[in-house]
Amino acid sequence: MAKKKKSTGGAAAPKIQGYIAGAGEVVEEKIAHTLQENFMPYAMSIILSRAIPEIDGFKPSHRKLLYTMYKMGLLGSTRTKSANIVGQTMKLNPHGDAAIYDTMVRLSRGYEALLHPFVDSKGNFGKSYSRDMAWAASRYTEAKLDPICAELFGDIDKDTVDFVDNYDNTLKEPSLLPAAFPSVLVNANTGIAVGMASSICSFNLEEVCRTTIGLLKDPDFDITSTLLAPDFIGGAQIIYDKQVIENVYRTGRGSIRMRGRYTYDQYANCIDILSIPQTTTSEAIIEKVIDLVKQGKIREISDIRDETGIDGLKITIDLKRQTNPEKLMQKLYKMTPLEDSFSCNFNVLIAGTPKVLGVRELLNEWSAFRIECVKRRTYFDLHKKKDRLHLLRGLEKILLDIDKAIRIIRQTEEESQVVPNLMEGFEIDNIQAEYVAEIKLRHLNREYILKHTADIQQLEKDIAELESILGSSKKIKAIIIRELENIIKKYGQPRKSMIIYADTIEEEDIEEDVPDYPVNLFFTKEGYFKRITPLSLRMGGEQKLKEGDSILEHIETTANTDLIFFSDRQQAYKAKGSQFADTKASTLGEYIPAKLGFDEEENAVYMVATKDYHGFVFFFFENGKAAKVPLEVYATKTNRKKLTGAYSDKDSLAAILFVENDETEILLRSSSGRQLLIKAGDLLTKTSRTTQGVAVMKLKKGHRVISAEVYTEGTFQKPDRYRAKNLPSMGQTPSAEEAGEQMSFLPDV
């Protein structure tokens, strides 16, 4: 809050020429009051009058421009200079010629931003997919309305929509356009207001109209059966995820993934990119690729250039010899804007109130709007026909005695008495008498009158039909359906964006050229991981561990290996060895649950390191069962890092072991003190990760399996004593001498 600062002038100040009372005075005012009085009206103006489209699919700037062109007679074959259109539009839109011309450019066919452009342009209007291809000045280009605009203005002169005054109250303009199709979904529309935004993706005209027809016939119509997915003018591929699409249709919010389309020329050894996502430009893609090449992250490209021409967008990428084009494109999709997302926010003004609507609700709102337009048009036609019928009824009475009408007019001394005398002579009202009195003398013949009165019967039928339409919502909907079907026939076109299903895309991890060298991997009971080089391990001291922690696994391998961490929640988390930095024995290492994003209170219990996914993972459960699962079932083609259902949850887990061949022996121990030796090959392999396994160790009541480990030669003096002849087996209790040697291996029970 500012303090008052009195000016040197005041009530007693001398009257000097040019003096302004109160000049220089600082007045205290609360910030909340200032915001309410100044900023809030501005925010409302932006929301209602600038940035958010209405149910007809247009913002005020679009509507003012198109209506001006309509009134200029540009819905035909004649074009006019864009500068002329801009000047005329300023009578409705006083925001300046540059803003108006920019609006017209974005609605034009030449700019290629809309599936169904509303402005038929001639000249250089730039391109939506290029940042550097600027449009020519308005004095050089020409434009007219595209034929599809006939569906926007078809009934505008029949009182279908309200008209309001322009900014200086000298002209009238429509508050909405009576669009005969749901243009709000047919063409993309984005805008940023104060505190809210709108972002509506475009859909195929035929699909939108078919869906609207389905909803008019059945409110519970399945919209996904006809409205397949968004459709973009650039023709980018839509990555179809059913759950995402249904969420967008239901809530009006979501993110649609799309990627560019390409072809590979094997003779020229180059990739031609022919379409890109709607959200980016060709320059942005080329600059990103060049940057990646300079950084050494992409080595397969020898040259990239923009070959966009008269045939449309084209980015050519020359490849080095023996480059796999598909793998390169996978990299480019991941690392450049060639794959991007369109964020949907279906925010539309409904009766002056911004609302975020799903597709069903949006089409229902448009249907209600269009029903009202058809009703108003029908009432307008009905009123006109009734007026016409009323006049013809009066003319019909004249037909009975034309000579009498002429006599009345000739014998009337004053002109002002002609109408009253006709009213009295033929028992007609003032409107009918005025109509008869204005008939030319040459038309007072039987042929003229019979010709006009013959329309009475047709008018009566038309009036009855119009009244029945007004009284039946079913007939009104039938009219709208018929109009939509005609629009499909006239303007429907095939989809430009190809749909590809998300589950058919093989997404591979981008493997950078990381040097491969020997390393030692350590995994602890508490879930800590270390990667140490042999040299560092030899020079280092003791392993630093948390109090109470111990090393569970020590694996000698190389840096570029795959790691699988199993958790106590039946989940597996995958990582690359190259994701971890080399460290020293004197550090705790990295905490795996935090590094890989484990769920809350989820712990890592075992680690597998592999390069070829050969071998088996054994899961031993406390109930004596064991599951043998091939490691290859944990190899994924996509870049998934988290695998749910990594093993069975039917009983508590006792141990996990990774075994590379079937000759390996495994030692099981139970809480009763019994021990059992089994060979890995004795168990059948199960291809399902969640298999419950088979019984391998018989247990006494109240006891359980407590551990499993790879058998080390020499642990037992007589190992054959513990080897099972048949499974399941109870195992053997160690002798006193063997038991003494193994006490350190037994966990607390």
Asked if the structure places residue 725 within a domain, the reply is yes
For the beta carbon of residue 339, count every other beta carbon within 10 angstroms.
21
Please answer whether residues 585 and 544 qualify as being in contact, where contact means their C-beta atoms are separated by less than 8 angstroms.
yes
- Give the tens place of pLDDT for each residue, 243-260: 999 999 999 999 999 999
Q: What pLDDT is recorded for position 506?
A: 67
For residue 61, give the nearest of 119, 102, 118 by alpha carbon.
102
Q: 40 and 58: one domain?
A: no
Provide mean pLDDT across the span 373-401: 90
Asked if the structure places residue 221 within a domain, the reply is no
Strand ranges (DSSP E) for 28-85?
Answer: 80-81
Q: What pLDDT is recorded for position 395?
A: 83
Average pLDDT, the chain: 88
For residue 360, give the nearest of 160, 241, 182, 197 by alpha carbon.
182
pLDDT value at 102 more than 90? yes
Q: 625 and 723: one domain?
A: yes
Asked if the structure places residue 210 within a domain, the reply is no
| Interacting residues of 639 by C-beta distance below 8 A, sequence separation 6+ | 507, 508, 509
Q: What pLDDT is recorded for position 16?
A: 58
Q: How many domains is the chain built from? A: 5
d(CA 453, CA 220): 49
Q: What pLDDT is recorded for position 5?
A: 43
d(CA 482, CA 374): 12
Q: What pLDDT is recorded for position 478?
A: 96
Q: What pLDDT is recorded for position 1?
A: 45
Sheet hosting strand 571-576, strand order edge to edge: 604-610, 562-567, 571-576, 642-644
**CATH number of the domain residue 149 falls in:** 3.90.199.10
Provide mean pLDDT across the span 514-520: 83
From 19, 42, 140, 167, the catalytic residue: 140
Q: 484 and 380: one domain?
A: yes
d(CA 337, CA 469): 53
Lowest pLDDT segment from 81-90, 228-237, 508-517, 578-587: 508-517
Known catalytic residue at 140 = yes
For the beta carbon of residue 494, count every other beta carbon within 10 angstroms.
7
**CATH number of the domain residue 438 falls in:** 1.10.268.10
Asked if the structure places residue 548 within a domain, the reply is yes
For residue 183, give the nearest of 198, 211, 203 by alpha carbon.
203
Q: 450 and 309: one domain?
A: no
Residue where the block lists tokens 């359980």: 704
- Give the tens place of pLDDT for each residue, 664-696: 999 999 998 899 999 998 898 988 899 999 999
Q: 70 and 5: one domain?
A: no
Q: 267 and 291: one domain?
A: yes
Domain range enclosing 281: 261-337
Strand partners, 715: none
Strand partners, 665: 679
Residue where the block lists tokens 């600082």: 26
Asked if the structure places residue 248 within a domain, the reply is no
Asked if the structure places residue 652 within a domain, the reply is yes
**CATH number of the domain residue 673 falls in:** 2.120.10.90
Helix 473-491 to helix 455-470 angle, to the nearest 10 degrees? 100
Provide mean pLDDT across the span 593-607: 91
- Give the tens place of pLDDT for each residue, 153-192: 989 999 999 999 999 999 999 999 999 999 999 998 888 8
Q: 414 and 539: one domain?
A: no
d(CA 556, CA 558): 7
d(CA 487, CA 359): 20
Q: Which of 153, 179, 205 is the endpoint of a domain?
A: 179
Provide mean pLDDT across the span 351-380: 95
Phi-psi domain of 171 (left: phi exceeds 0; alpha: psi -120 through 50; beta: other): beta
Type of residue found at 215:
L
Q: Which of 119, 153, 179 is the endpoint of a domain?
A: 179
Which tokens belong to 580? 């971890």
509 band by pLDDT with thresholds 50, 70 and 90: low
Q: What pLDDT is recorded for position 4?
A: 43
Residue 617 to residues 633, 655, 728: CA-CA distances in angstroms? 10, 11, 19
Say which DSSP state 135 is in: P
Q: 631 and 723: one domain?
A: yes
d(CA 187, CA 117): 8
Instruction: Give me the sign of the Cα torsion angle 81, 104, 88, 176.
Output: positive
DSSP calls for 589-613:
-EEHHHHTTPPTT--EEEEEEESS-
**CATH number of the domain residue 266 falls in:** 3.30.1360.40
